[in-house]
A and B are shown apart, each in its own frame.
Chain A
């Protein structure tokens, strides 16, 4: 009851924090998609480079988010953004690289050799092969990577409240510091719900973007 009360009296705050949270994740994963997909495609050209890039991306994802924020504070302070929005976005951007790059790479790599050869033999340039065949066929797997990144980073973004980036993590951190279980629980549930809803809606988007016939 107490929790419901809290939610009802703080609807405004809850809405504001949720929007902040969504905005942070959308911007960060959006940027990550814009960089990760081209990198994923590019590394299909060279297996050695692919191994190195995927290795680096795997290492990035193992750095605890708190540590990553800590590392960024002195570096970004030099441009006056040691805490807040910028380091949060950068952290999520880096964490999103692995699922997006790896899924893009795997998808393009797995286009069947028969289709590749048909496309080549028919006289498509490498650009046309990417645009008309390889990317459309890779959409489901690339989107799955984006989904993984979004869900994972909705959680990571909750921790970014500690560096003043805002979002639903604010409720959790306040709940802990003020020993207020209502805020803690509401914050945690809100983050989980947001992750579930984001995953479902991205799944719908993925189905919409997948070419018919696949």
Chain B
């Protein structure tokens, strides 16, 4: 856990006194990723660098797991915090193995232990130790170098990690991959991470919490969903972008908007039964056909059911695509657009039908939070105009 308590940094510059960080109070809970977000010069990097005392605070305190960092020896404090920077900072005169082993060596691990750790870490980011351990940084691509940068920070297993725009210098395709890899690592290792970014998409993707900074002040500190659905002021609103409702799609999973009370038919049922069930359940367009194990095999449309006679098996259409409960709504919306569908069936890992996702359901879910916030705003305005 990282706690910032009235953390302040004032720089004396040629243009006068500048407060780069102004009484920052926040807490990053154990095992979470907190993204510090804001335009350049907003104080996010200064705040991050005060945690490992690369920048000394003017006033205020930083506590790591309740311990005041200013009371610890700076060198050993830094060795207990993983540090990843945008410039990567691999030492070109050392092999990959030596680069990864720096901190374990500094804190006195024995040789066999840190060598084993280096191989282990390389495998975690899918790089073959046999190939890479003895290479030098200039023999690696930018993406590979930054992976080494990340695992170097993890080498001595620090509870806390600081990352200063770690993926900023990597091309967009590699950035996506390395972000996914980092999230996977994080799910296993559960470090407490403070992460500086200026990219709202990266923040929404990586963060458990987002802290938005402006001119040295912490403006809003909330979960990505709350930041996107309830931006606290026009600055945050502008910063997260006009498509913030769309950005929220990737934060919501199918499971959250799933309509589970699905009425279904089997292949042997008659079309008349299908029509009856559609009417009973209020389905306007179609009903899903399942097999004996509850797996969806097709659907019968209302127009066919009203005009034709026979059983469902003969008159069903194939399902164009399926979704899983853990898929995010961005994926689902994309599939809906691709297949020109207004609903998609959702199946479990055994292929059993769990329910359907509908466009209406998604819109409703996203709209609900906005409606409640608008109601709140209106009631506030009402209070203000009242005498």
Binding site for B on A (CB under 8 A): 112-115, 117-125, 128, 132-133, 136-137, 211-214
Contacts and interface: CB of A to CB of B under 8 A. Distances in A.
Give 8 nearest A-B pairs by CB, closest first.
A118-B89, A114-B87, A213-B136, A123-B79, A123-B78, A211-B93, A121-B83, A136-B93
A122 to B, nearest CB: 6
Contacts of A113: 87
Q: Which of A115, A119, A122 lies at the interface centre, i.e. has the most chain B CB atoms within 10 A of its CB?
A: A122
B185 interface: no
Given A137-B92, A213-B93, A122 B54 contact: no
15 contacts: A113-B87, A114-B86, A117-B87, A118-B87, A118-B91, A120-B54, A121-B83, A122-B102, A123-B75, A123-B76, A123-B79, A132-B91, A213-B137, A213-B139, A214-B138
A121 B90 CA distance: 12
B91 A133 contact: yes
A interface secondary structure, majority: helix
B132 to A, nearest CB: 13
Interface residues of B, number: 30
B193 interface: no
B103 interface: yes
Given A115-B89, A123-B80, A213-B95, 8 more contacts: A117-B54, A118-B85, A118-B88, A119-B91, A121-B54, A124-B106, A132-B91, A213-B93
Contact of B85 (A121, A125, A128): A121
B94 interface: yes
Contacts of B92: 115, 137, 211, 213-214
A137 B92 CA distance: 8
Q: Which of A113, A119, A212 lies at the interface centre, i.e. has the most chain B CB atoms within 10 A of its CB?
A: A212
A123 to B, nearest CB: 3
Contacts of B54: 117, 120-121
Given A123-B79, A123-B103, A137 B93 contact: yes
A117 B106 contact: no
B52 interface: yes
Contacts of B83: 118, 121-122
